[in-house]
Amino acid sequence: MLRFKVVEEASNRKAVPVALPSERPEEYYGKYVFNRNKMFEYLPRDTYEALINAIDNKEPLSREVADSVAEGMKRWAIDNGARHYTHWFQPLTETTAEKHDAFIEHDGKGGVVETFSGKLLVQQEPDASSFPNGGIRNTFEARGYSAWDISSPAFIMDNTLCIPTIFISYTGESLDYKTPLLRALTAVDKAGTAVARYFDPKVKHVISNLGWEQEYFLVDEALYNARPDLAMTGRTLMGHESAKNQQLEDHYFGAIPSRVEAFMLDLEIECHKLGIPAKTRHNEVAPNQFELAPIFEETNLANDHNMLLMSVMGEVARRHNFRVLLHEKPFAGINGSGKHNNWSLGTDTGVLLFAPGKTPKDNLQFITFVANVMAAVHRHNALLKASIMSATNGHRLGANEAPPAIISIFTGSHLAEILEKIEKSDKDELIAMAGKEELHLGVSQIPEILMDSTDRNRTSPFAFTGNRFEFRAVGSSANCGSAMIALNAAMAEQLAEFKEKVDVRLEKGEDLHHALLAEIKALLQKSSAIHFDGNGYSDEWKEEAARRGLDCETNVPRIFDAYLRPETIEMFGKTGVMTPVELAARNEVKWEMYTKKIQIEARVLGDLAINHIVPVATRYLSILLDNMVKIRTLFPGNKGIELSAQDSATVEKIMHHTATIREEVDKMVDARKAANRIENEREKAIAYSETVAPCLDRVRYHIDKLELMVDNEMWPLPKYRELLFIR
Ligand code: ADP
Ligand code: MG
């Protein structure tokens, strides 16, 4: 039987040996990246200087410089085995896109030369009409532009020079994640710098940092291929819980199986060659679940690196006969996967703005930025939830192992105490506080206290962790850009407003420290509802959060509505991050994607139920019936009925489950048909979530019951206990 064959194949598999480079990581790190060293080596001196200046000061590049960069980049790429180049971008599909072109051009003598021009480097027109665009691009304007993002270095993957680019429509609207992300980073730089200058006038830029922690599952490829649901939807649509899963808590930080360790080593080497600073690896809570985290980087670069990692992972996994599952909830009953986004702001002078410092002034700066984070997250808590939401992440949130579906901030008791003190102080107390050298907050001791005691509240979706905030609700398959756009833009709006208010006070002649403390106090008072250090999984919190006016919506398509609220439109408008047209279009894409994902799941499950499971159950049923007939023939009368009673009970149950599966699949098909007739994308997505998605659970319930009854030898699909334990 196929199932036993693939299980055997998977369990006999040995670790694939990894060819360790002879050099140390220091030597091969960034080998395939056109970083500053390579630029220096391959570009003429004046080109190099012009390019570095453009990158550092966000200035445009002239055509001549672009041509010269293209020439040097091409030489470097060819020296490193590249034959093609591509504009690498991040459309709204949550993967990356690329179209490869060879460097060759006719040489006029019947041969070819390998060339690459500034024009091709800077801008291209991919025929992009089949990327999601939410109606922005009408068919007569099917063109989209990709344009070089000089702030993220080009790299070589699979013998192709990849140039990170933004992707916009003919009319200038963003069709990707990178464009609004760059705009949000510019906005937070501008607003953040203005505030940071209260403390240090030398600050020129504020930089947003991101350190993501990527969780994932590995499954042996033979088993994966034998599960059409995994292969087509990324998750198991059926499967009874394994008797043993994560209840012994023996996987987390346990020994990594040798096959997996080989994969991780190989992956890290690839990452390092691509300049992804992969640093930490460990087992996660669920069996077969793992995590990789890099050293944090500037947000745009970190995000490119995460997108790159997700594709590299897939490739490396295949070399090791694994498949990577990035789905947020591939298996029912055990933990799902997220991607914690560790986020901070820092200055070009090297100060981390969410980190307590050594002096009272540093600490006032720290409190200033923290209070603004609380205000921004409070104001846009619904939007932040929308920014991480998707059909797949919807399974994870609100479950009892993942961030709750309500955004709140965990500060830890020490920070809470300090914030509360400011919040409760009256005017005189604030003046006294501002005048005192120690700022009378106990703030001079903050660093020591916070650094080692930011107790980890794992139930919080947004937690302060000593020198950063950890946005934990992001899904494992997501483009972090979505969360980072919302968060940085909201922060930019908030900081700009804060600055305006403080300036009004300064104009009135108030002392700077007092003006800051007074405005911090106002922010804390206004946003205190967002602060919650308790158990985010509890039912009491859900009620309490609703009373506090936090967004408690749990229906995925409705959660997306937050993007179209007046305060969201205003915020994205003021910060120049997204226009109302862009927001509307992107929501169309979100709803459409939601519908399509559920639609695919419903089709796959319908097929599996009717063509795989029901026939097998029926075969087993007929064996039982045969048996009953034989028993009753041999033992006529009551004796036979008695002896076949157990079979008879099983027969009834199996008949009940198969009949119900048939009924539920029919209902699911009808629900789909009805939903498909709806034109409006939002309404259609809601119909899918309310009428189709629940059918998936009901069909599954009956299949999982059958799995426990039907002869193990007949069951067609690998079971959880087989999928989940790599030996
Ligand atoms: P955890 O204990 O939360 O699992 P990890 O060490 O796995 O922590 O990951 C923490 C992540 O946070 C790493 O990517 C790390 O580089 C990143 N990080 C640390 N400090 C900062 C900071 N100030 N800003 C952004 N990211 C940070
Ligand atoms: Mg973490």
- Residues 111-120: tens digit of each pLDDT: 999 999 998 9
pLDDT reading at 221 higher than 80: yes
Banded model confidence at residue 139, pLDDT cuts 50, 70, 90 = very low
Q: How large is the average pLDDT for residues 204-208?
A: 97
Structure confidence at residue 257 (pLDDT): 85
Banded model confidence at residue 432, pLDDT cuts 50, 70, 90 = confident
Could you tell me the distance, in angstroms and rounded to a whole number, from the CA of residue 474 to the centre of ligand 2? 12
Structure confidence at residue 438 (pLDDT): 54
* Helix spans in 80-208 (H): 118-122, 178-196
Residue 343 alpha carbon, nearest atom of ligand 1: 25
> CA–CA separation, 182 vs 102, rounded Å?
29
Backbone φ and ψ for 567, nearest 5 degrees, come out as -70, -30
Give 523-568 as a DSSP string: HHHHHGGGB--S-TTSHHHHHHHHHTT------HHHHGGGGGSHHH
pLDDT tens sequence across 123-137: 888 765 667 777 775
The mean pLDDT of the chain is 91
Structure confidence at residue 446 (pLDDT): 58
Closest listed residue to residue 459, CA positions, set 419, 375, 402: 402
Q: Are 372 and 498 in contact (CB under 8 A)?
A: yes
Q: Are 555 and 689 in contact (CB under 8 A)?
A: yes
Could you tell me the distance, in angstroms and rounded to a whole number, from the CA of residue 54 to the centre of ligand 1? 29
Task: Report how far apart, in Å, the C-alpha atoms of 495 and of each of 218, 382, 715 are.
Answer: 42, 19, 59
Query: Taking CB atoms and a 6 Å cutoff, what residues make up the pocket around ligand 1?
Result: 209, 211, 213, 280, 293-296, 342-344, 352, 467-468
Q: Are 258 and 170 in contact (CB under 8 A)?
A: no
Ligand nearest the Cα of residue 340 is 2
Residue 465 alpha carbon, nearest atom of ligand 1: 3
Structure confidence at residue 254 (pLDDT): 66
Structure confidence at residue 281 (pLDDT): 86
Higher pLDDT, 425 or 479: 479
Structure confidence at residue 250 (pLDDT): 63
pLDDT reading at 436 higher than 70: no
User: How much of the chain, in percent, has pLDDT values that exceed 70?
Assistant: 93
pLDDT reading at 138 higher than 80: no
Ligand nearest the Cα of residue 211 is 1
Q: How large is the average pLDDT for residues 583-611?
A: 97
pLDDT reading at 83 higher than 90: yes
Q: How large is the average pLDDT for residues 297-324?
A: 97
Banded model confidence at residue 252, pLDDT cuts 50, 70, 90 = low
State which of 281, 296, 301, 462 you would mutate to test the pocket of ligand 1, scoring each by most atoms of that ligand within 8 A of its C-beta: 296
> CA–CA separation, 484 vs 181, rounded Å?
7
Lowest mean pLDDT of 21-25, 451-455, 673-677, 688-692, name the range: 451-455
Structure confidence at residue 440 (pLDDT): 54
- Domains annotated on the chain, with CATH: 23-176 (3.10.20.70), 185-576 (3.30.590.10), 594-723 (1.20.120.1560)
Angle at 616 between CA 611 and CA 622, to 5 degrees: 130
Name the residue with tokens 């091709």.
120
Higher pLDDT, 99 or 507: 507
Which residues are within 8 A (CB) of 707 and not within 5 positions of it... i.e. 6 or more apart? 238, 239, 240, 715, 719
Structure confidence at residue 429 (pLDDT): 82
Q: Which of 100-104, 287-291, 358-362, 474-478 has the highest mean pLDDT?
A: 474-478
Q: How large is the average pLDDT for residues 260-275?
A: 96
pLDDT tens sequence across 499-512: 999 999 999 999 99
Could you tell me the distance, in angstroms and rounded to a whole number, from the CA of residue 299 to the centre of ligand 2? 16
Ligand nearest the Cα of residue 253 is 1
pLDDT tens sequence across 521-554: 999 999 999 999 998 888 899 999 999 999 999 9
Q: Are 450 and 466 in contact (CB under 8 A)?
A: yes
Banded model confidence at residue 367, pLDDT cuts 50, 70, 90 = very high
Structure confidence at residue 596 (pLDDT): 97
pTM for the full predicted model = 0.95
